[in-house]
Each structure stands twice: as C-alpha cells, then as structure tokens.
Amino acid sequence: MKSISIFVQERLAKINEGESFPDIIRYWLPELISSMILLTLPPMIDSYIISNSQTMNSYGALAMAVNFLYTLTKFAEAIPVAAMAVIGRYNGAKDYEKCGESLGSTFWLTVILGALQFVIIFIAATAIYRWMGVPEEMVALGAPFLRLKSLGIFLVFTLLGFIGFMRGIKNTTMPMYINIAGIATFIFFDIALVLGKWGFPTLSLHGSALATILQYGVMNAIAILYIMFNPEYKKYFKRVFFSICNYREILKIASLSWPIIIDKTSFALSYVWLAKIIAGMGTYAITTYDVVKNLERFAFIPAVAFAQVVTFLVSNRLGSNDPDGASANIKKILMLSIGSVSLCLIVMSWNATYLVSFFDPRGNFTAFAATVFPLISMLVIFDLIQVTLAGALRGAGDVRAVMWTRFLVTIFLFGPAAYLVNLLPIDNMVLKFSLVYGTYYLSNGTMAFIFLHRALSHKWQKTKI
C-alpha cells in the first residue's frame, strides 16, 4: 500500500510540474484563432471565391501559387521563432531591456530577408510556373499574381517579428486581435476586388493579391502602435524599437535563424515538390490537391497553435532554470494536440463530400477528393507529433537538430520516395494520388521518431542560446 501511495504522489507531482492544463488552454485558445486566421482562412477563402467565380485555369493557377506562398510564409516564420526563443529566455530571466533590443534586431533582419524574397520572386515568377509543368494558360495567369502576392509576404516578415516578440513575453491575446483585424480586412477586399463588389473594380486574381497587401499593412500598423504605446511595454524599451540596431544581437538571432530557415523552407518545399508531381496527373488532380491540403490544414490548426505555445513555454521554463517543468509541458501539449486534431479529422472525414463541394460547385472532382481525403487523413498524426516536438526543441534553442533532421529526411527520403511512387504503373488514380501524398507523411513519421529520440535524451535541455 505504501508503494502505491508513493507512486500516486509521484504521478500527481509530475502532473503539477510545468503549466497547468487550464493555463496551457488559456495560452492556446488565442493561438488557435491566430493560426486559423493567419495560415488557414485566407487560402480557403481565396480558393472558395476563385473556384466559384473564375475558370478552372484560374483556380489551378491559384493552387500552384499557394504552395510557393506557403513556403515563403514558413521562411518568414524562421526569424521570429528564433527571436521568440531568445526573448523568452531574457523574459524568464527578467532581463527586460534585452527583450527590447532583440525586437529591434529582429525587425531589421526581417526587413532585409523580406525584401530579398520579393526581388527573387519578382524575377523568377514565370520560370517557377513553367518548372511546375502546368499549362501555359496557368503560367500567364499565375506569374503576375505570384509577383504581387510576394509583396504581401514582405509585410508578413515584419509582422511575424512583432508577433514573435509578443509571444516571447507570453502575450498571445494581442496577436489574436491583430489577426482578427487582418482577416476582416482581407475578406472585405478579397470579395470587393476579386468580384468587383461595392463599386470596386473587378481584378480577379490580382484583387486577391491586393487584398493580401492591405491585410498585412493593417496588421503591421496595429502591431507597431500597440508595442510603441502600451504602458506595460515601457520596461522593454529605452528608445523606439526600430532605432535599436545591436549588431551582436542581430548576429545572434541570425545564427539561431538560419537552421530554422533551412528546416522550415525545406519542409515547406515538400508541398511544392508534391504539387509538381501531382500537376502531371491533370487539372482535376491539381485542384483536388489544393482542396485536400486546405482541409487538412484546417484540421491541423490545433497542432500548429500548440506548437507555438510549447515553443515559448519551454523557452521561459528553461530561462527560469526549470527543465522538469519544460518536459512536463511538452508531454501535456503533445497529448492535447493528438486528441484535438484526431477529433477534427474524424468529423471532417465523415463529411468529406459536403466539405469538398464548397470548392467544386460544378461537381468536377468532388467524388475523387472526398475519397482520398479520409485515406490521407489517417497519416496526419505523424505530422502533428513532429510539429509539436520540433516546436519544443526550438524553444530550447536546439534548432540545428530540427534543421538537420528535416533537411536530410526531406532530401533523401521524401523527395526520392514521391518521385519513385509516381513512376509506378498504377491506373487507379485514387490509389496513385494517395500513395504519392502518403510519402509526405512517411517522411513526417521518420522526423517524429528522430525528434522523440532527441527529446527523451534530454540533451536539448542543456542547449545554450
């Protein structure tokens, strides 16, 4: 009886380590809304409006562009994620002035990288579409759209720097409000400029790109005003943040960022590689890929939000010299993530035909997409495990372990596997599409296993920032 009592006490003590479940949920709910608004709703709204009002070529051009835009967005996330780890450590140690210096350094780094991606996309947009192997009609429609959209991504870079600062000091509520304002702006101008409503000109795909620019312009303005005029933030800044340019701090964040840039972009480029392979299966396969991907990302929002939370909670716990609390937070968040995403996927798979029909009013590919969605969804658990554990390792500053894992698995496992499966003489398109897409989750499962091994080794707890 005594041993049972000791065991129960030890289990209860473990549960009480780290943040409580209610606290984790309190941090998570704003992140859930922010992730939905920032990453999922805009492409879904775009897809719905374009698929219901434009030609299949226009929808196909949008679907191809979205994959590159997703890669650019993941690229934009890298600097803020690194900054969040640094700021979280400083905040946990109550070194508030260093938090403010890190924001200034982060801002200038995001400006430089955001401008760089815009120049590259502006020059290479047409070549990118032709490399994807899509029809020439899609190239003509998509290249100008991609150029204009990349200007909006420039504003994403600076915005995520501001939001990374807020998250690093445990403020997840204001990013949620900023994202709500942004999505409201996007929805209004996307409808107005794509469809020519309320006296605005009909600009089709170009209208969508302009809506993105206006969306992130508004969000940046709100974030800057909030940081500059919030009385609670005065302790972080002796002077205006954009006048702070600490070269050592810039190099420190850059040093942490380049592994994240490599791991996030190599991981996101998986979607581009999938799109290129699937493009060879025809227009209906291209549009099916867009719909299935968007639905899965919607179901995956809870995991993305939990990954954001685990990053700054681990960072703050290690900054407070509490590695056991950091480990407890990882276990709790992983459990919550698996439960919430699994529930979403079960409900969506049950109603797959109904959900796909929103993006296919003419019924061209609904049966095909509704069949493959449940098959692919069964493999999503591999993705959510690796995303959660990657977020935890980044919060500890163990960014190179994440980088090398994602880079090597993507290049040497996923890339060849998807290509070879596509070469198989399979006449059944549902089976072929599912197997090609399934190689993506095969690689995610490999990453999850490696990250889990790393987490159990506890080496990440000793990582210096």
3-state SS, residue 402 = helix
Q: Which of 114-118, 214-218, 246-250, 264-268 has the highest mean pLDDT?
A: 214-218
Question: Which amino acid appears at position 221 of this protein?
Answer: A
Q: Is the pLDDT of residue 134 over 80?
A: no
- Hey, where are the domains in the chain? 18-462
Instruction: Report which DSSP code applies to 36.
Output: I
Q: What is the mean pLDDT of residues 15-30?
A: 80
State how far the Cα of 339 lies from the Cα of 334, in Å rounded to an integer: 9
Q: Is the pLDDT of residue 82 over 60?
A: yes
Identify the pLDDT of residue 439: 92
CB-count burial class (<10 Å; 0-12, 13-18, 19+) for 95: middle
Residue 411 to residues 258, 344, 401, 434: CA-CA distances in angstroms?
A: 17, 30, 16, 20
Exposure of 137 in the CB half-sphere (CA atoms within 13 A):
7
Residue 180 to residues 35, 151, 173, 211: CA-CA distances in angstroms?
A: 11, 21, 11, 15
**Higher pLDDT among residues 76 and 277, named by residue:** 277
Segment 181-232, tens digit of pLDDT: 988 898 899 889 888 888 888 887 778 888 889 998 999 999 888 888 888 7
Segment 316-373, tens digit of pLDDT: 787 777 878 888 888 899 999 899 899 989 999 998 898 888 877 777 888 888 898 9
State how far the Cα of 65 lies from the Cα of 48, in Å rounded to an integer: 15
What percentage of the chain carries pLDDT values higher than 90?
8
